[in-house]
Amino acid sequence: MGEILEREELLKKIEKICVKARANKNAIDMSEILESFRQSGLSEEQMDNVVRLIENRKIEINPVVDEAAIKDLEAGKAKASPDDELLPLDDESFLKEESEEIDLDAVDLLEGIGTEDPVRMYLKEIGTVSLLSAEEEYALAIRKQQGDEAAKQRLIEANLRLVVSIAKRYTGRGMSFLDLVQEGNLGLIKGVEKFDPEKGFKLSTYATWWIRQSVTRALADQARTIRVPVHMVETINKMSKMQRKLTLELGYEPSVKELAEHLDMSEDKVQEIMQIAREPASLETPIGEEDDSNLGDFVADANVLTPESNVEAVMLREHIDSLLGDLKERERQVIVLRFGLEDGHPRTLEEVGKEFNVTRERIRQIEAKALRKLRNPVRSKRIRDFLT
């Protein structure tokens, strides 16, 4: 790994990428960005910030769409793409399923999902949309390239079942089914916009890449209470996969040291990734067989005083008030203001001086005299036990 880039050099690289993207209709492939920073030594979070900086400059970042891989999928040969590493959870069966062309006629829209009214209504609606033949798809795609919005809309509607088929595979990962479909539909729209019928592959195969990218990006951004950068998701996936592999090989959960050795990372880095990968627990989580208690009932609040501490605090306050009662009224007021004994907000000499319309030096003298009185052994004995 190369040395971490200096800020100026980093910005130059980003600008170079943006210049290249502007020459390509303000778009660039993610693979080109990753290649540009491959030897940069940037962390996952820093790399994610680089991607956001590029996006903030109105540059559209395309997922890695390999035309050769698409043709392999149509031919029935599975080939992993760099995007597979970005899936929020490892899904080894996905490529096997994806290697077969999805038959939209055979898609059972209700299989494997809940049948709540909004879901059923949506699935019923898209189920009425007729599918396209290869000839119709090609003709509509040509018209779409010529700016025909109606043709673009027809291509989108004819492939909504594809989104449902893919969205089913990601249920139970922190987002509702309809939210997954919504994100997948956004990916489908982008796929239709970029589809070129002259490339020789079907829209459904090409759009699959965009749908998956949109869904997995949404899961990384929205599924967790605390967002994990997309590049860190990739690292978490690799670690989880290695953890499962070692568990099968060793017959027990691998230690941090064993994981670090197999992942070629430091133990501190592995522990950091584990910490990031942890899901936060809700304080409302039921505890016990009868579910009559919540987790929050058993979490100690460090800011709450124990009964003993509370009694001591009350007694200390009473003794302090008694000590201050031995002072002259002005001396007592100066000490109270200087140390914030009533409101917890200590004042400066100048602030107290303005209160009494005297100089800060006069306040310092009054304070010093009052403190000498309070330090008298006879008086200070009253609170000495509280300070030991």
The predicted-structure confidence for 269-278, as pLDDT tens digits, reads as follows: 899 888 888 8
CA distance 109 to 211: 17
Domain-embedded: residue 120: yes
Task: Note whether 193 and 171 are same-domain residues.
Answer: yes
Q: Please, which pLDDT band fits residue 109 given cuts at 50, 70 and 90?
A: low
Flag whether pLDDT at 80 surpasses 80.
no
**Domain end position, chosen among 279, 295, 321:** 279
Task: Note whether 145 and 253 are same-domain residues.
Answer: no
Task: Note whether 218 and 192 are same-domain residues.
Answer: yes
73-104 burial by CB neighbour count: b if 16+ within 10 A, else e?
bbeeeebebebbbbbbbebeebeeebeeebeb
Domain-embedded: residue 292: no
pLDDT for 129 equals: 85
What percent of the chain is modeled with pLDDT above 90? Answer: 21
How many distinct structural domains can be found in the chain? Answer: 4
Question: For the residues 248-256, what does the mean pLDDT come to?
Answer: 89
**Domain end position, chosen among 195, 222, 249:** 222
Task: Note whether 113 and 258 are same-domain residues.
Answer: no
pLDDT for 213 equals: 84
> What would the pLDDT profile of 86-100 be if each residue is shown by its tens digit?
333 333 333 333 434
pLDDT for 104 equals: 57
Q: Which residue has the higher pLDDT, 282 or 385?
A: 282
pLDDT for 1 equals: 40
Lowest mean pLDDT among 77-86, 132-141, 150-159: 77-86
Domain-embedded: residue 170: yes
**Domain end position, chosen among 200, 222, 244:** 222
Flag whether pLDDT at 189 surpasses 60.
yes
DSSP state of 253: P
Q: What are residue 293's DSSP bridge partners?
A: 287
What mean pLDDT, rounded, does the chain reach? 78
Flag whether pLDDT at 257 surpasses 80.
yes
pLDDT for 21 equals: 86
Q: Please, which pLDDT band fits residue 301 given cuts at 50, 70 and 90?
A: confident
pLDDT for 105 equals: 55
Task: Note whether 87 and 203 are same-domain residues.
Answer: yes
Listed ranges 42-51, 67-76, 366-375; the one with the highest mean pLDDT: 366-375
Domain-embedded: residue 28: yes
Q: Please, which pLDDT band fits residue 155 given cuts at 50, 70 and 90?
A: very high
Task: Note whether 263 and 149 are same-domain residues.
Answer: no
Flag whether pLDDT at 182 surpasses 90.
yes
> What would the pLDDT profile of 114-152 be if each residue is shown by its tens digit?
555 787 888 888 888 888 888 999 999 999 999 999 999
- To the question of pTM greater than 0.75 for the whole model, the response is no
Task: Note whether 46 and 182 are same-domain residues.
Answer: no
Task: Note whether 211 and 354 are same-domain residues.
Answer: no
Task: Note whether 51 and 117 are same-domain residues.
Answer: no
CB pairs under 8 A, 24+ apart, for 45-49? 45/229, 45/231, 45/232, 47/229, 47/231, 48/229, 48/230, 48/231, 48/232
- Look up the CATH number of the domain holding residue 272: 1.10.10.10
Domain-embedded: residue 295: no
Taking Cα atoms as reference points, which of 123, 116, 201 lies closest to residue 163?
A: 123
Q: Which domain holds residue 367?
A: 307-387
Task: Note whether 54 and 83 are same-domain residues.
Answer: no
pLDDT for 85 equals: 38
Domain-embedded: residue 1: no
The two three-digit tokens of residue 359, written as one number: 């100089």
Domain-embedded: residue 351: yes
> What would the pLDDT profile of 212-239 be if each residue is shown by its tens digit?
888 888 887 776 777 777 667 778 878 8
Task: Note whether 126 and 152 are same-domain residues.
Answer: yes
Q: What are residue 28's DSSP bridge partners?
A: 61
Task: Note whether 87 and 47 are same-domain residues.
Answer: no
The two three-digit tokens of residue 225, written as one number: 């209470």
Domain-embedded: residue 2: no
Lowest mean pLDDT among 137-146, 280-289, 321-330, 331-340: 280-289
pLDDT for 220 equals: 76
